[in-house]
Amino acid sequence: MDDSISQQFGQDGYWVARGLCPADRVAAMRAAAEAALARRRPPFELESEVGYPGAPSIDAPGSDTIRRLLDALALDPLFFDWACDPQLVGRVRKLLDAGSIRVVRAHHNCVMTKLPEFSSATGWHQDLRYWAFERPELITAWTALGFEAEGNGGMRVIPGSHRAGLEPERFDAQRFFRTDLPANRDWLERAVQVDLEPGDVLFFHAGLLHAAGANRTDRRKLSVVFSYRATDNPPRPGSRSAARPDLDPDRPADFEE
């Protein structure tokens, strides 16, 4: 990975590594995710629990629809191995400009899924709204286990928004970027759709504004998602981000479930 990619990432806040995950590995992870969904392997998060637009209410048809399979590192060795894979980790190190990194266990660390009938939309937000680290410098690696586009709830991003220093009043009470605010219009008009093919990996900064619609196709969308930090950027003590010890991808044998 050459320096121009790091420079582009610093400018835009995201970058796609096309075909980074081999097809056989994609197929194996997708099969493992489908099997876990079929047996409703806990822990998981339901669409009705997040309450995003389009999600079923707690007592409506589809209320038991799974949105995320949580703790992917412990879900199957396939996901653990991918999170620690040198091809993935090496790119994260380069983008973070850090020699030593950690896989964050308290955030993401999941298989994202959107079912056709009961999926919901996610408004514009920055992942940093949930997280508490010494520095707001984390990177997420989003690996597509199938095709992702606007029609099935693929990711939209606003390039450069991670550098904007957006004021709190631009967000609503749930810290979603307000689409009804005239001051936000200029940013919203810069949004781009990021289409992905199986095996593509979308790397994005935790401060990047991103959103996604509902799945309007007849096939489930699946992605495996891990976030990373530099070792010298620890979570703040007592925060949700510090709830679990993070994984050193260079010492996978030390992992404790």
- Residues 126, 42, 202, 118, CA torsion sign: negative
Instruction: Please give the Cα distance from 79 to 249 (Å, whole number).
Output: 12
Q: Which of 209, 238, 14 is nearest to 133 (CA)?
A: 238
Q: How far is CA 163 from the centre of its chain?
A: 19
> Model-level pTM?
0.95
pLDDT digits (tens, 9 = 90+) for 13-58: 999 999 999 999 999 999 999 999 999 999 998 877 676 665 556 6
pLDDT of amino acid 240: 93
Q: Which residue has the tokens 């894979």?
A: 85
* Amino acid letter, 125: H
User: What is the SS3 assignment for 45?
Assistant: strand
pLDDT digits (tens, 9 = 90+) for 97-145: 999 999 999 999 999 999 887 877 889 999 988 899 999 999 999 999 9
pLDDT (average), residues 187-206: 98
Average pLDDT over the chain reads 92
pLDDT digits (tens, 9 = 90+) for 142-161: 999 999 999 999 999 999 99
- For the structural domain made of 3-45+73-235, what CATH number should be given? 2.60.120.620
Q: Own/partner pairs for 85-92, CB < 8 Å, 24+ apart?
A: 87/20, 88/20, 88/21, 88/141, 88/201, 89/228, 89/249, 89/250, 90/1, 91/1, 91/17, 91/20, 91/141, 91/201, 91/203, 92/139, 92/141, 92/203, 92/228
pLDDT (average), residues 198-205: 98
Cis omega (within 30 of 0) for bond into 43 = yes
**Where are the chain's structural domains?**
3-45+73-235
